[in-house]
Structure 1
């Protein structure tokens, strides 16, 4: 190869371009590819030198070389990858002269990395592509495709925002679906679980997506709905998913149904669900300043100010946890607070703390925060250390009308609210029957009044 290049360098300038192009075609046509990467390295290094070949000839030759490689002249994956990486390393110092060719090589390398499922590396290569500078700027549709590929690989929010601004530049259905999936994943990774659940659920109905893939997407929707902050908005999403007949086949259906029906979740159920979560959904969360203050208050409550001695605890099992430690932990605690409001008229701070495995004041802080945010109806009596729940028809309507179904006849649809009403009615009837029996026994003189 060195001898051929030395000979071509002596040719007249007008003869160099066809001679180098012929050498490129001859080299890539070889059946033995063992020495191909080394020969192409020498060829690219020589052609890219403007003092030997000239800039115009160099661009023409390297453009043809890059185009031929991209068209599949080199069939072996590893050999092609090695050639592309070596060509990029050789041309990078001369990027001002060969920017277009370098961008083409980067796209080829990204394709090769994606074929190996090296998504993060492929995204980094695409991030280095110059889309707006140089002699030729890519059209908006091509930029949108590149941004979607980056976001699909690494959930890069900056590139997601760029893609969002160009989302109307194409009508290509597959690219649009990829972008919508990126939207859901970005919300998921940003812990905007309510938004992610809605986006995943919408995508799970798209007929163009494979059925098995739609089941996976539906499972993601359920997971995000469970992790979302408790409140009326989440109740609507849970109702939509609970009504979805496909959800019954999911392993997460048990926790979905319990959350929708406002039933308290037990540690064993939470542990089973936790095993299905992805790493970002198990992220640790910091203890808020209010929760730290709550723990100090609880410690102060154990000290008798008149004697400066520690009081005995009301219960040896009282928790000392200052607050939830993970995203799942917080979601389950908030759900159990909401579920408690469907069962009790009021609950004490220690009682709620025992239910949530939190220090009493930390449990109060969680309930107060939910009341302030409008996710829980009630008020707090700090003198008696009670949390009073305010039940109302509005909460039941929120579940009955969930999922965009409009007005729903509560007596004919098996949603969470009618089940709760039926349960409350059974408790009320039982209490009334017991009261009637006691009154009857008192009239008969069978019950002695306490002294």
Structure 2
């Protein structure tokens, strides 16, 4: 219910011939006429009176703009949201005529929701803004700005599905936008979505690219570099991850970060201890510690695969049970993990299930599916023997040729067949 002053003013306006001017004067003075506690109800009463009166679309639209300006003066976020919801309900009845006012009210409500850290409601209210309409001209830059803002709000509540939908809309227009801040936010959202979807290699590359941008503060650049290292560590072991680790290890700034220790060990294929893994896990986000379909965490799986690659550098062959002891698994699980990595081309080796032995080859895996299968150990040893015999024969041939050059008479007398 409106305050007595505003109720009296509305009754007086009803007697005017130019009622539009009366509403305009009342809205321009409303923040002085009403006290802060009563202001939300007064604004609602004025808006209801304007739309109940037959003033014509032009006059009503102009007054709706003044109402939006008055809405901005509200200090309390709760009041903005309350009045804004009422206004949206009224505008909805003639949505095409009040698109501009509808958009402004939704932006004000989104600001209030964001300040109250209600990011889900902020995203929903922003999503209701019409961006493709013949009644309202919206530039590509403004469209991208809205979509990225919605994406960031959905990311705050870990809804990557809807976040990705709006980022994909922005992706179609981002190339037309020159604003460097918008481009930065787009890249950051892209990396965060890839991170949340466990596409860690792409996320690591995205975070590292952002860490080189001079438009952000040094502290933020180091933070994004730290995120890049975390994503690279969590990525599946293999040639692609080794390249990502190499890029990060060669970045001189990495040595100043707390994640450098585990980065160095992984890049050099050294085995990780449970204590090092536990310390690293303390700095991970909740989604990075989520459990996978087999019940293990993303980090645990990444560490097992890394230690398996490290073991392949230390041993030519190893039994299932011995490998399981090294990886903290049982023998059958160690065999299963090894077989999967070999099949996916992330490790080169051969499994002898009869003898329960895994044979490793020193060469680097290509990353192509099926390329990790090594030939039988007997064939490998024969090729190595043949290579050694060939090398010895070549060395003997070199010695004989040198003797013929330096001591032709001796060779003629002693080595003639």
CA shift, 1:113, in A, is 3.0
Aligned counterpart, 1:48: 51
Whole-angstrom CA distance in 1 between matches of 2:137 and 2:334: 57
Distance 1:268 1:83, change over 3 A: closer
Residue pairs, 1:365-444, within 5 angstroms: 365-392=336-363, 394=364
1:339 aligns with 2:310: yes
Whole-angstrom CA distance in 1 between matches of 2:199 and 2:274: 24
- Which residue among 172, 179, 184 is the counterpart of 2:179? 172
- Which residue among 3, 6, 12 is the counterpart of 2:11? 6
Whole-angstrom CA distance in 1 between matches of 2:49 and 2:88: 11
Cα contact 1:84–1:105 (8 A) shared by 2: no
1:177 aligned counterpart, secondary structure: helix
Cα contact 1:226–1:259 (8 A) shared by 2: yes
Whole-angstrom CA distance in 2 between matches of 1:52 and 1:4: 18
Aligned counterpart, 1:66: 68
Aligned counterpart, 1:409: none
Aligned counterpart, 2:85: 88
Cα contact 2:239–2:365 (8 A) shared by 1: yes
Deviates more, 1:27-36 or 1:198-207: 27-36
CA shift, 1:134, in A, is 6.7
TM-score, scaled to structure 1: 0.73
Aligned counterpart, 1:77: 75
Cα contact 1:99–1:134 (8 A) shared by 2: no
| Residues 63-85 of structure 1, C-alpha deviations (whole Å, 9 max, x = no match) | 22214544xxx2x631x651453
- Structure 1: runs of 5+ lacking an equivalent: 288-323, 397-451
CA shift, 1:388, in A, is 1.1
CA shift, 1:285, in A, is 0.9
CA shift, 1:29, in A, is 4.4
Cα contact 2:349–2:358 (8 A) shared by 1: yes
CA shift, 1:126, in A, is 1.3
Whole-angstrom CA distance in 1 between matches of 2:12 and 2:125: 36
Aligned counterpart, 2:217: 210
Distance 1:220 1:130, change over 3 A: same
Cα contact 2:80–2:112 (8 A) shared by 1: no
| Residues 138-196 of structure 1, C-alpha deviations (whole Å, 9 max, x = no match) | 22221100111111222311111111111112100111101111111011011101110
Query: RMSD of the TM alignment (CA)?
Result: 2.1
- Which residue among 26, 31, 35 is the counterpart of 1:28? 31
| Alignment: residue pair count | 351
Aligned counterpart, 1:286: 293
Whole-angstrom CA distance in 1 between matches of 2:78 and 2:135: 27
Residue pairs, 1:144-223, within 5 angstroms: 144-155=144-155, 156-223=163-230
CA shift, 1:124, in A, is 2.5
Cα contact 1:46–1:52 (8 A) shared by 2: no
1:77 aligned counterpart, secondary structure: coil
Distance 1:269 1:377, change over 3 A: same
| Residues 23-64 of structure 1, C-alpha deviations (whole Å, 9 max, x = no match) | 110213458433222211110121122x55444432221122
TM-score, scaled to structure 2: 0.79
